[in-house]
Amino acid sequence: MKRAMIALIAVVLFSSAVHAGSCPVKEYTDYLSKIRAQDVNAVVKAANELIKVSLDKNDPCRDQLMHEFRKYYHATMSAYEKKSKVGQWEYPAADSDRLEFEQTIASAGWSLRESEGMYCLGEKAGWFEERFRTILTRPFKKYLRIRADEIQQGFARDAGLLISWDQLGERIAMWEQFLRTYPGFVAKDEIRDRLDVYVRTFVTGMDNSRINNFNSKKLRPDVRAAYEVFIRENRDSAYYTLVRDYYEMLKRKQFNVPDDLKGYFKKAGFAAMLDAQLPAY
């Protein structure tokens, strides 16, 4: 009798472990594919289902499910942006029209953005942290906290930088540190793509935020200072050699920025951000 009871307990514990160890990623992605409408209500449904299927799962599973939701969230946002034709609105739109539209999209965690005289949709800062506070893992909380700060600060508008060069260098260092702390993070590829944009902007500038003054070839003092801080404080950075060698080249030229900046970085296997399409985040 005692042995039978022990065996029964073992079976129950094993079944529980198997259940806890299973991750319904396929089931959840199948659910997402069945939501035909690409609108606000679709995101609300997907969010509710995410919470439902994540509550009793382990952290790696929760991260994977959240990653799938975020892909769906952004794809649906892009589809709704086209459907609503927000990019074709007369600019600037009336405050009442903007307010009404923002209230409509709020429950999906979207916000109305503007760039170069046009409107578009973007991620609403802090929405993910509030909406999914019961299921977020520590890595995802950290990731979303950084992203919320970036969204609030902005990055670029009308081909011009919205943050200081020091802040841009800090973003690079911060994301690199995040990847060192969480090397297996489920959204690491997105972070690397973002790092690529940040680093390219850091060393080449953008069309309306040049690294040199418009009336001369001299490297701007704030850009030079940002390079020096980055070199001094980030020796373990994957981009340390790139920034250091670039700085030394500029130093040899009395900090005159060469005309063929694109050519310099092309030889280094690195694309400049000049004339590039810029994200607003």
pLDDT single digits (tens) 196-210: 999 999 999 988 899
At residue 160's C-alpha, the angle toward residues 157 and 162, to 5°, is 70
- Phi, psi angles (nearest 5°) of residue 125: -60, 130
For the chain, domain boundaries: 20-136, 154-281
- pLDDT band of residue 90 (cuts 50, 70, 90) is confident
Place of tokens 């704030």: 222
Place of tokens 């999209």: 105
Percent of the chain with pLDDT over 90: 72
Q: Which DSSP helix (H) or strand (E) runs through 122?
A: strand 118-123
Predicted confidence at residue 277, as pLDDT, reads 53
Say how many CA atoms lie within 13 Å of 91 toward its Cβ.
13
- Left, alpha or beta for 255 (phi > 0: left; psi -120 to 50: alpha)? left
Name the residue among 70, 72, 64, 73 with its Cα closest to residue 24: 64
Phi, psi of 25 (to 5 degrees): -65, -45
pLDDT at 274: 61
Separation of alpha carbons 98 and 93, rounded Å? 7
Average pLDDT, stretch 148-174?
94
- 20: pLDDT confidence band, cut at 50, 70 and 90? very low
Determine how many CB atoms are found less than 10 A away from the CB of residue 135. Answer: 19
Predicted TM-score (pTM) of this structure: 0.84
Query: Is 80 exceeded by the pLDDT of residue 246?
Result: yes
Residue 68, both tokens:
């799938």
SS3 call for 36: coil
The pair of three-digit structure tokens given for residue 220, joined into one six-digit string? 């701007």
